Amino acid sequence: MSVTPFPHLDHAETIRDLARRLVGPAEPESWRDHLRALVRPLQEAFAAHRAATEGDHGLYAEVVLDAPRLANTVDGLVAEHHVIGSAMERLAAVASEVSPDAEALRREAIEVLDGLAQHGQRDSDLVYEAYATDLGGE
C-alpha cells in the first residue's frame, strides 16, 4: 500500500516558504504581503488533506478497517483537524487586517506550522503502525 498522509505535497513548498518567512525579519509591507499570500494556498492544502483522510472513503476509514485497534488514534487525528482548521482561521483573520500586527501574524503562523508538523508526524505514525507493523515490521 502506498499511502501519503499529505497527498498534495506540491503545497509543501508553501509550508516551507511560510516557515522561511517567519524566521526572517518582519519587514514592513513586503513581509506581511508575502505571508498573506501564503494563507489561502495553505488552507487549500489542508482542505485537500482533510478530504483525503476523512470520510467513508478516506485514509482514516481504510486504516480503521485494516487495523481497528487504531480507531481512537484516528478520532484524535480528526479532532486535530478541527484545532488546526481553527488556527488557520485565526491566521487568516489576522492576515486580512488592513495593517496586521507583525507579531500577532507571526504568532498565529507559528501555531499553524507547529500544528501541521505535529499532525503530519502523527499521520505518518498512524500509517506506520497500521501497515508496517502488521506487515512484518519491528
Report the predicted TM-score, pTM, of the whole model to 2 decimal places. Answer: 0.80
4 part of a folded domain = no
Quote the CA–CA distance of 84 and 64 in Å, as a whole number.
22
Find how far residue 107's CA is from the centre of its chain: 16
Residue 79 sits in which domain range?
Answer: 9-132
- How many structural domains comprise the chain? 1
Asked if 31 and 105 count as a contact pair (C-beta separation under 8 A), the reply is no
Asked if 63 and 133 count as a contact pair (C-beta separation under 8 A), the reply is no
Asked if 110 and 87 count as a contact pair (C-beta separation under 8 A), the reply is no
Model confidence pLDDT, tens digit, residues 99-118: 778 888 888 989 999 999 89
Model confidence pLDDT, tens digit, residues 10-68: 566 677 777 776 666 656 667 778 788 888 888 998 999 999 999 999 999 999 999 99
Q: Could you give the residue ranges of the DSSP H alpha helices within the chain?
A: 12-23, 29-53, 59-66, 71-95, 102-127
The CATH number assigned to the domain holding 109 equals 1.20.120
